[in-house]
Amino acid sequence: MSSSTETRYQEADLLTRAVENVLRKMIRFLVGRITLVKLQEMIRFIYVEEAEKKLRAEKPGRSVALTQLALNTGLDTRTLTRVRERLQEGGSRHRRQFLAELTPESAVVEAWASAVRAGAGDRVLKYGSEDAPFESLVRATISTRGITMPSIIQRLVDTRSVEQDRDTRQLRLLVDHFTPYLSDDEPNIVNAAFSAISNLLSTIEFNVTVGQSERLFQRQVWSFRLRPEDRADFRQAMRRKLEQYEQSSMDAIEPWEQERYGDELMTAGIGLYYFEESQG
């Protein structure tokens, strides 16, 4: 095997392992919040959209041929045509449908809440038998193959979507829309976390396309010689240090800020976070 071929294999292996590491941690978080089917659908739409943008940027003013798109995405032209049609429709209606079907229980809540809003359903439903209103709602909304009613009910209870009365065998709908989060603070934490991930990826995307002298600052500082019993004290020490950096960074940014917001202005800054490398 030639050295150039060996280098290409090493580069491909490095990229594969890096992507797997990122996806594994992201999927670990997404399990129970979005189904694999919906995640695949989301990735397919985004991949096609971004591939088309890339090809269009390479040849401005020219339409992107389906054969080119097929080569870059690995999808057949028939599938690409369907995806393109959905993207060209604007996506708002499909986005609402997508959000309502993130998980089987989310579809149930959306159907139930829609019926209540339309005056065609009750907020309190009986459950526990084949012809009970809740079971009828579920069967009319989703495929129940491989899914049990108790598991759906438990998930709805866990996500604070319904209140269960075991004595009367009734479920009360508590929300108007489904949310997969289990705590009041979690949505804000998740939004901030994924925003930080997005910003880091933007920096990486920029850095791999420019020369070394133009690259944005991108660093991590860590040690693999830490005792687990020192974890709490180490976390506190790093928190204090990061809070100092945060304040000094805000002070450094302030002189550059304009007095008023405007569409012509840009957003930029730095990211600060603590991490611990988990096993697996």
Span 229-243, pLDDT tens digits? 999 999 999 999 999
55 pLDDT band, cuts 50/70/90, is: very high
pLDDT-derived band at 63 (thresholds 50, 70, 90) equals confident
pLDDT at 91 exceeding the cut of 60: no
Euclidean distance between CA atoms 142 and 203, whole angstroms: 41
Instruction: Provide the whole-model pTM.
Output: 0.61
Q: Looking at per-residue confidence, does 220 or 34 come out higher?
A: 220
CB within 8 Å of 69: residues ≥ 6 apart: 48, 51, 52, 55, 75, 80
Check whether 98 has a pLDDT greater than 80. no
Which pLDDT score, from 0 to 100, does residue 187 have? 66
Of 63, 43, 61, residue with least CA distance to 52: 63
Q: What mean pLDDT value characterizes the chain?
A: 86
Q: At what angle do helices 149-158 and 104-117 cross, to 10 degrees?
A: 80
To the nearest 10°, report the CA torsion of 209, 49, 40, 180.
90
Question: In the predicted model, is pLDDT for residue 39 greater than 80?
Answer: yes
